[in-house]
Amino acid sequence: MNTELSVSLWRGAQNGRYETYRVPQRPSQTVLDVVTYVQRHIDPTLSYRFACRVGVCGSCAMTVNGKPRWTCRTHVAKVAGGGKLQIGPLANLPVIKDLATDMQPFFEKWRQARGVFAPTKTRHDAIAQIKPDTPVRKTADAAIECINCGVCYAACDTVRWNAEYLGPAALTRAWTLVNDERDGGNIARLQAIAGAGGCHACHSHQSCQELCPQALNPTAAIAGLKRRTAAAYLKGEITV
Partner 1 sequence: MNVRLYLWQRTTAAVMAPLVIVHIAVIFYATRHGVSAADILARTRGSIAWAAFYGLFVFAVSIHASIGLRNILSEWTPLPERRVDACVVFFGLVLALLGLRAVAAVVLP
Which residues of this protein are in contact with partner 1, per CB under 8 A? 158, 161-162, 194-196, 198, 200-201, 226, 229-230, 233-234, 238, 240
CB 233 to partner 1: min, Å: 5
CB 165 to partner 1: min, Å: 9
User: What residue spans of the chain are helical by DSSP H?
Assistant: 31-37, 76-79, 104-112, 135-142, 151-155, 157-161, 168-178, 186-192, 207-211, 218-234
Per 3-state DSSP, what percentage of the chain is helix, strand, and coil (rounded to 5)?
40, 15, 45
DSSP symbol at 53 = S
Q: Which residues of 11-25 are buried (b: 16+ CB within 10 A; e: fewer)?
A: beeeeeeeeebebeb
Which amino acid does the sequence have at 170? A
Burial of 86 from C-beta contacts in 10 A (0-12 / 13-18 / 19+): middle
CA distances to 23, 185, 193, 228 from 178, in Å: 47, 8, 11, 9
Q: What is the CB neighbour count within 10 angstroms for residue 108?
A: 12
> Smaller CB distance to partner 1: residue 97 or 226?
226
> Smaller CB distance to partner 1: residue 149 or 221?
221
CB 48 to partner 1: min, Å: 31
CA distance 50 to 48: 7
CB 235 to partner 1: min, Å: 12
> Smaller CB distance to partner 1: residue 15 or 239?
239
> Smaller CB distance to partner 1: residue 121 or 203?
203
CB 204 to partner 1: min, Å: 12
> Smaller CB distance to partner 1: residue 67 or 200?
200
CB 210 to partner 1: min, Å: 21
> Smaller CB distance to partner 1: residue 59 or 158?
158
DSSP symbol at 93 = S
Which residues are registered as beta bridge partners of 23? 5
CB 240 to partner 1: min, Å: 5
Which residues are registered as beta bridge partners of 70? 61
> Smaller CB distance to partner 1: residue 11 or 200?
200
